[in-house]
Amino acid sequence: MSDCLQMNDSPMYQKLASLQDIKNLSDLTKNNVRDILRASLRNSDLEIVELGELKDMSGTNDAFNSSICSLQVKVRLGSSSSTKKPEAPSTESSSDATQATSETAAASGDNESSPEPAAKPTSTEDAKEENTAVAEEFRTFDLVVKVPPKASFMRLMHKLTKPFLNEVTWYLDMVKQIEFVEKDMHESSFKLANIVPVCYHAYSNYYAGEISDKCKCAPWFCALPFRSSEEGILLLENVTKRGYKMFNKMSILPLDHFLLAMSDLAHFHGRWLTYRWLGESGKLGEGSWSPDYLKQCLNTQKRPPRAVYQKLLKGTQKTVLKILELEGKTEYSDRIRKFFNVTANVQLDQFMGEVTTPIDTCCHGDFWSNNIMFKYNEEDKVESTMLIDFQLINYGHPAYDILYLLYLSSDAGFRDSNMESCLEHYWKTFSYYLEKYSPDEFKYGWTEFKADIHTYKSIVFVLATTLLPNVLSDIQVEAGGLLALRDLQRKQAAELADSSKSSTKEIKRRVIQLVEEMMRDNII
C-alpha cells in the first residue's frame, strides 16, 4: 500500500533554480530538504545532520485523497544570527537536543559535525548560557509528507476535483489571505494559523500553471483521459510531536471535544465570512483576493459533472438498502428509494453551488474526528485543536461542516442529548461576526440558522451514509484500476454481511440510526 520510497541522495550539490523544482518524493534528497528548511527558517548556515527514511503513516482507508509518509530530519543550525522560526512552533526534540549537547561536549575536535570545544565557563550563569547555546545548535524536525495517490481510479477522479491543488492553495495562499482580516481583530486570541500545521514546502502542477487544457471544448468524458493527473508534494509539521492526538474514529467524540471543535469551527467560518464581506465592500486592501476569485478557488468539488454524483447516489442507495435488509428494517426501504431517486437528486443543486445563502463561506469540507487533532493538559482535559486535511475545502453554508461532524463522529443518543447545545455553542461564537461585520440591512438570526440546519440534514445524510461504511471499515481497500469502484462496493457488501466483526456492527448501527432519525424528523 505504501507509496513511500527510499530517497536518492546525490553526492554533488547543484543549486536549484527554485524550490518549486522539488515536485515529488524522488526530489527529497538531503540537499533539497536542506534548502527547504533553510528557506523556511531563513538560515543559510543550516546543515542536515541526519535524514531519516520515509515511513508510511496512512491509516486504513485513509489514503484515498493522498499518500502520507513521515520523515524525521536532524539539523545543525550553524552560527547564523538571522535564524527565524516558522510562523507556528516547529517540532523540536528536547531529548535529541540534550543528547547532541552531551555528545558535543564529549567529542574531540576531529569530529567535523561537532563545534570546537568552548573555554571552561567561569560561573554558573556562564555555564547555563553555554549549554543553552549548544542545545539550540541542533534541532529535530518531524515532518509529514503528502503526495497525490497512485491508484489509477483515484487519479482519474482527481482530474475533476483536484483535491491536492486545494490543499496546496490553502497553505500557499489562503493562510496568508486570512491575515487581511485577522490583523485588525484583537477581541479574541484565536488565529487561524495557530490551529493548522506549519507548511515547509508545497507544490502542485496545477497550481504552478504547468497544465494546459487542450481539450476544454470537448465533453468532459472525452477530455478526461487526456487531462494531466495531479502531481505534487506537501511537507508539513507532524503535530503529534507537539502533543496532538487523533481521537479513535470508532468511538463517539465526547461532548467537551465537540464543544471545543464547534467553537474553533465557528471562528473558522466567521473569519472567512468576514473576509468575503470586507472584500465585497472593497475594504481588504491591496493584494487580497476578490470575492469571485475566492469562490472560484473553493469550488473545485462542485466542478465534476452531475452524472458523477448521480452515480455515487445510486451506490449509496444500494448500500443503505442492503443494511436495512440485513438488519430486518425493510419497512423503511420504499422511503429510502424515493429519497435517493427524487429528493437527493433535487438537492444536488444546493451541494453544487446553484443555491446560495447569506452566510456562505469557506467550509473545511471533511470536518470529522479523524481530521481534528486534540491536545490535552496535565489533567487529561482537552485544551486545543489542530485542523488537518484541507483537500475538500469548498464554498457553502456552515451547516455542511457542522452536520458533517455531528453525523460522522456521534450517534443518535449523543445527538438527541447534545445536538441543540452544540448548535447553541457554535452560534454563540459565529453570531459575533454577523453582528460586527455584516453589511447594512443584513438580516439573519438564530431562527434562519436553525431552518438552514434542517434543510442541510438531507445533504449530509447522503454524505454520512456514503462515507461511514468506508471510513469505519477495517478492511483495506486497494483502489487500483478503472474497476476500483465496483471492487470497493463488492468488498463493502461482503463485509456488511459478516455480522461477527465489531466494525461491521458499528457501521450498521450508525447507518440504521441515521435512517430512523431522518424519518422521525420528516427529512425522508
Cα 515 → chain centroid: 28
List the grid coordinates of 311.
452515480
What single letter denotes the amino acid at residue 203?
A: Y
List the grid coordinates of 378.
496535565
Regions in the chain scoring below 50 on pLDDT: 1-2, 10-13, 16, 60-61, 63, 81, 85, 87-125, 127-133, 479-483
pLDDT at residue 389, rounded to an integer: 95
Edge-first strand listing for the sheet containing 372-376? 245-246, 372-376, 382-387
Closest residue by Cα to residue 71 from 28, 110, 117: 28
In this predicted model, what pLDDT tens digit does every residue of 243-295 receive, in sequence order? Answer: 999 999 999 999 999 999 999 999 999 999 999 999 999 999 899 999 999 99
DSSP 479: -
* Residues facing 395 on adjacent strands: 362
Greatest Cα-to-Cα distance within the chain, rounded to the nearest angstrom: 86
In this predicted model, what pLDDT tens digit does every residue of 373-418 receive, in sequence order? Answer: 999 999 999 999 999 999 999 999 999 999 999 999 999 999 999 9
Helix (H) or strand (E) holding 308: helix 306-326
In this predicted model, what pLDDT tens digit does every residue of 343-371 receive, in sequence order? Answer: 887 777 656 656 789 999 999 999 999 99
Distance CA 345, CA 514 (A): 19
The structural architecture, per CATH, of the domain 243-521 is Alpha-Beta Complex (3.90)
Dihedral (CA of 46, 49, 53, 58) sign: negative
- The ranges assigned to domains in the chain are 20-78+138-237, 243-521
Distance CA 433, CA 185 (A): 11
pLDDT at residue 62, rounded to an integer: 54
Helices 484-496 and 446-471, packing angle to 10 deg: 90
Cβ atoms of 372 and 195 within 8 Å: the answer is: no
Other CB atoms within 10 Å distance of the CB of residue 273: 22
Other CB atoms within 10 Å distance of the CB of residue 392: 19
Cβ atoms of 38 and 84 within 8 Å: the answer is: no
Cα 239 → chain centroid: 13
Q: 3-class DSSP state for residue 246?
A: strand
Helix (H) or strand (E) holding 145: strand 138-147
Distance CA 93, CA 139 (A): 7
Cβ atoms of 391 and 236 within 8 Å: the answer is: no
Look at the block and give the residue holding cell 459565529: 430
Q: Is 292 exposed, middle or buried (0-12, 13-18, 19+ CB in 10 A)?
A: exposed
What single letter denotes the amino acid at residue 493?
A: A
Distance CA 294, CA 353 (A): 14
pLDDT at residue 11, rounded to an integer: 47
Total residue length of the chain: 524
Question: Residue 53: what are its φ and ψ, rounded to 5°?
Answer: -90, 150
The backbone region for 433, taken as left when phi is positive above 0, alpha when psi lies in -120 to 50, beta otherwise, is alpha
Model pTM?
Answer: 0.83
